Amino acid sequence: MVQDLTKSRQVPLDKIRNIGIIAHIDAGKTTTTERILFYTGRTYKIGDIDEGNTQMDWMEQERERGITIVSAATTTFWTHSSRRSSGKEDPYRINIIDTPGHVDFTAEVERSLRVLDGGITILDAEEGVQSQSETVWRQADKYKVPRICFVNKMDKLGADFLATVKSIETRLGANPAIMVLPIGSENTYKGNVDLLTRKSIIWGSEELGAKFDVSDDIPEDMKAKVEEYRAKLIEKIAETDDALLEKYLGGVEPTLEELKASFRRAVIGYKLVPIYAGTSLRNKGVQPLLDAVVDYLPSPVDLGEVKGINPKTGEEEVRKLVPEEVLCGLAFKIQNDPHVGKLTYFRVYSGIIQSGSYIYNSTKNVRERVGRLLLMHANQREEIKEAYAGEIVAIVGLKDTITGDTLCDEAKPIVLEKISFPEPVISLAIEPQTKSDQEKLGFALKRLMEEDPTFRVKSNPETGQTIISGIGELQLEIMVDRMKREFSVLANVGAPQVAYKETFGDAVEGEGKYIRQSGGRGQYGHCMLRVEPKPRGEGNEFVDAIKGGAIPSEFIRAVEKGVFETLENGVLLGYPIVDVKVTCYDGSYHEVDSSEVAFKIAASQALQAASKKTQMSLLEPIMKIEVTTPSEYMGDIIGDLSSKRAQISGTEERGNATIILGMVPLSELSGYATTLRSMSKGRASYYMEPSHYDVVPQNIVQAMLAKSTFTGRVSAQ
């Protein structure tokens, strides 16, 4: 049934839902997705993470570790339960992306949210809103993605539905609309009461939760509570709609259809967040969640249009999200498939794309040929001839397209908003074990960088080492493992190193003059630079302020190149210099002896001269940390964190555990997992994610300078 529908793909635009499943680690994203695929008929067996046979976690590393590493896309179809019970097949097409929860793979979440129309946020009923839940929520806010919350693990010891809803309100700043009340909790949880319809939904244990009973029988001890929360829900919905509010205040209860229509508008307008409950592992609560996706999350029709910039005129352009419009869409993910080569995941916003056709990459200003079009189901592929507005497909054959590029019709170009990714905070040295590995290493690293925009590679010219950088140790560990398995590259790796950065403390000027006379033609380059610090995170900028031709325009490019190379290599301890504005305001040249090389070296000398006139600052990555511990170990853990230069921002009680929140320099957290285990007899756990960069105290910089072998790089190439 699902396969037939996928092939025919005759689904109206208003019956398409592009959704993502986002959450903290271990909240149950992949388990929920596996249930969705089973109940919609996409799969005939429920995958289990512990058994390593899930559909969506298909990589070997994912199955071994029981975590999601790469986002996986699939397409399935769902008929609303109310229509199904009346025997009417009325399928909605649901394109789903299951994302990782671990912060090391945050790029996968970022790029998925950029192209999705709606999301399901899954929360652990015992843990409530956790740090990564907050992070992915903010990412979804950035791209204005309407979402539904699913309070999972209602069968877990310590599960508290209302406390979790409270944490959604306080920690996420959302306006929750409770749609169901759970019947029972922990080991007595068996179903929900739907507040809008006043019906109870009970799941039995047979048929893996595919069958459930809907009745008007609400448990006697819940009736008053159901009426109380139903009145609150109706009031919340009415407050978002003036006509409905007037009716409600006049003492007339709106009809179910009016409430649903008004509620749908409120969810799409980010005014309300529907809250559902269940336990995916025990096969309860997933079908009402699917009904809610159909009822309340937007279709491309609801979003109406997408905006971008015309690269030729710089004017804003608009595209209607319909197949009749000219083609445009966003390449949001690159994946290297061992069978078909490079896959480019593509969200079609408008128009139709056909296999074998040519498409224009407006970001890179190149034409690309669409070799084949594939519908993806995790790592399984289904070839199609064309794809329409509202669909998510994979393209085979694109050579120059990378994550964040816009693909469109060459006659009507448009550049859509790009995707922003966090900067790497940790790096390690890697070297091939043999000469044959040396040749394969470059190819493997290039492919992995194409796939993951937060994974960076650079060479250290002094040591000849290759340095790989990323968001966390786990990400780098997985990358090295993938090199070994997928590309057969054996490599030795060094210990992880913190990715420090350097910056200027004050606005200063520096002069660089490179003169070399040797029999025949000499070398002459002379420039003067002004260096000013910029606010943190704004990046580097080069400004050409030369007047009267003091430096000919053909050499300005060489000055800029010399500046950026020196910024990349640093002047204090060899770390990249960030957040500075470098202005070239004066200089001189020689009619015969001046060359690009001479000006490049002069620019490097000028920047180094400027650095000697100010106190250079070293910046280090600061991590947001959340330690969950039994209360008796709290004092010891806070004391230990304080000794690591931590700033404790507060503590929270959650059940029998205490949550310690704080900011700690990454350099102090080496081996912290072992320290924490020994301090708490293995009972405490922690989670961390990059927060920001901050200045390293001067005494620590001095100690690092004393140990450093870095000698600066005034080069005379």
Beta strand residue intervals within 125-255, DSSP E:
147-152, 176-178, 180-183, 191-194, 199-203, 212-215
**Residues of the chain where predicted confidence (pLDDT) is lower than 70:** 1-10, 42-72, 83-89, 101-105, 206-207, 378-379, 460-464, 518-520, 655, 710-717
Structural Rg of the chain based on CA atoms: 29
Amino acid at residue number 600: K
The pLDDT value recorded for residue 86 is 57
**Range list of H helices, 368-453:** 435-451
Q: Which domains does the chain have, with CATH numbers?
A: 2-302 (3.40.50.300), 319-416 (2.40.30.10), 426-498 (3.30.70.870), 502-615 (3.30.230.10), 619-702 (3.30.70.240)
Helices 242-249 and 223-239 meet at what angle, rounded to 10? 130
pLDDT tens digits for range 509-544: 999 999 987 666 788 999 999 999 998 888 899 999
DSSP state of 406: E
Amino acid at residue number 371: G
pLDDT tens digits for range 36-61: 888 887 665 565 555 554 554 445 55
Residues 179 and 277: their CA atoms lie apart, in Å, by 9
Amino acid at residue number 506: D
The pLDDT value recorded for residue 85 is 60
How far is C-alpha 99 from the geometric centre of its chain's CA atoms?
9
**What are the angstrom distances between the C-alpha of 235 and each of 168, 192, 254, 261?**
19, 21, 11, 15
> Residues of 389-403 as b/e, b for ≥16 C-beta within 10 angstroms?
bbbbbbbbbbeebbb
Instruction: Say if residues 581 and 543 touch (Cβ distance below 8 Å).
Output: yes
Q: Which of 198, 159, 99, 163 is nearest to 279 (CA)?
A: 159
Residues 344 and 335: their CA atoms lie apart, in Å, by 7
Instruction: Say if residues 359 and 329 touch (Cβ distance below 8 Å).
Output: no
The pLDDT value recorded for residue 58 is 45
For the whole model, what pTM was predicted?
A: 0.76
- As beta bridge partners, residue 273 has 176
Residues 330 and 111: their CA atoms lie apart, in Å, by 10
Q: What is the dihedral of CA 383, 389, 390, 393, to 10 degrees?
A: 30
What's the farthest any 2 CA atoms get from each other in the chain? 103
Q: Given its phi and psi angles, is residue 242 left (phi above 0), alpha (psi -120 to 50 degrees) or beta?
A: alpha
**Pairing between β-strand 657-665 and β-strand 328-337 as defined by DSSP bridges:** unpaired
Instruction: Say if residues 20 and 113 touch (Cβ distance below 8 Å).
Output: yes
Which strand (E) or helix (H) includes residue 175?
Answer: none
Q: Is 365 helix (H, G, I), strand (E, B) or coil?
A: coil
Q: Which of 149, 211, 223 is nearest to 183 (CA)?
A: 223
Q: Which of 252, 348, 257 is nearest to 300 (CA)?
A: 348
Q: Which of 420, 419, 408 is nearest to 317 (CA)?
A: 408
Structure tokens that stand for 576 in this block: 């990249």
**Measured distance between the N- and C-terminal CA atoms of the chain, rounded to whole angstroms:** 68
Instruction: Say if residues 351 and 414 touch (Cβ distance below 8 Å).
Output: no
Amino acid at residue number 324: E
Instruction: Say if residues 100 and 71 touch (Cβ distance below 8 Å).
Output: yes
Whose tokens are 């000919």? That residue is 552
Q: Which of 637, 654, 522, 638 is nearest to 127 (CA)?
A: 654
Q: Which of 665, 618, 674 is nearest to 642 (CA)?
A: 665
The pLDDT value recorded for residue 473 is 81
**Range list of H helices, 214-373:** 223-239, 242-249, 256-268, 286-296, 300-303
Beta strand residue intervals within 443-538, DSSP E:
456-459, 466-470, 491-493, 497-498, 501-503, 508-516, 523-533
The pLDDT value recorded for residue 327 is 92
Structure tokens that stand for 451 in this block: 């796939």
